[in-house]
Amino acid sequence: MTVIILTACPEGLRGHLTQWLLEISAGVYVGHVNSRIRQRLWAKVVEMAGPGRALLVYQRPGEQRLTFEVHDHHWEPVDFDGITLMRRPTDRSSYNPAVGPGWSKASKRRRFGRRAPDGGSGSSVPSEPSEGKSGS
């Protein structure tokens, strides 16, 4: 089984892949082709991808029974003790400055409890007078 996933690639490449593989979703191609055809298809994908990205997944003997190849993709396949994993980029470009670092106000309240402004016990309900005192 061979799977090719394209992102932002030209229509001509998509048309070329439909000659050999079945397009099951936009930019996702699946099919059974031999290794020679798969290598030629991948070479054509790399040649025609332009500014787009491509990911190839295919069967291979071994523990995982598959392997990956990427072209201009942010995620990269990495061999980790005989198992191929996809490494996600660790740059800070995905950082959202609107969220800000540290704990949210709600989590601080849950973690540390509500504190009275005067630094008291944290109870916002005033205490009732004791029975021993006269109120009038």
Residues contacting residue 48 through CB under 8 Å, at least 6 positions apart = 9, 10, 12, 13, 16
Closest by CA to 28, choosing from 3, 50, 1, is: 3
Closest by CA to 54, choosing from 36, 38, 65, 33, is: 38
pLDDT of residue 36: 97
Length of the chain: 136
pLDDT of residue 69: 94
Task: Indicate the pLDDT class of residue 59, thresholds 50, 70 and 90.
Answer: very high
What is d(CA 48, CA 117) in angstroms, rounded to the nearest whole number?
A: 66
pLDDT digits (tens, 9 = 90+) for 78-125: 998 888 898 988 766 555 555 566 667 777 777 777 665 665 555 555
> Over 60: is that where the pLDDT of 51 sits?
yes
78 — alpha (psi -120 to 50), left (phi > 0) or beta?
Answer: beta
Pairwise pLDDT comparison (107 vs 72), residue with the higher score? 72
Q: Is the dihedral of CA 122, 127, 132, 136 positive or negative?
A: positive
81 — alpha (psi -120 to 50), left (phi > 0) or beta?
Answer: left
pLDDT of residue 74: 85
Tokens of 79: 């061999």
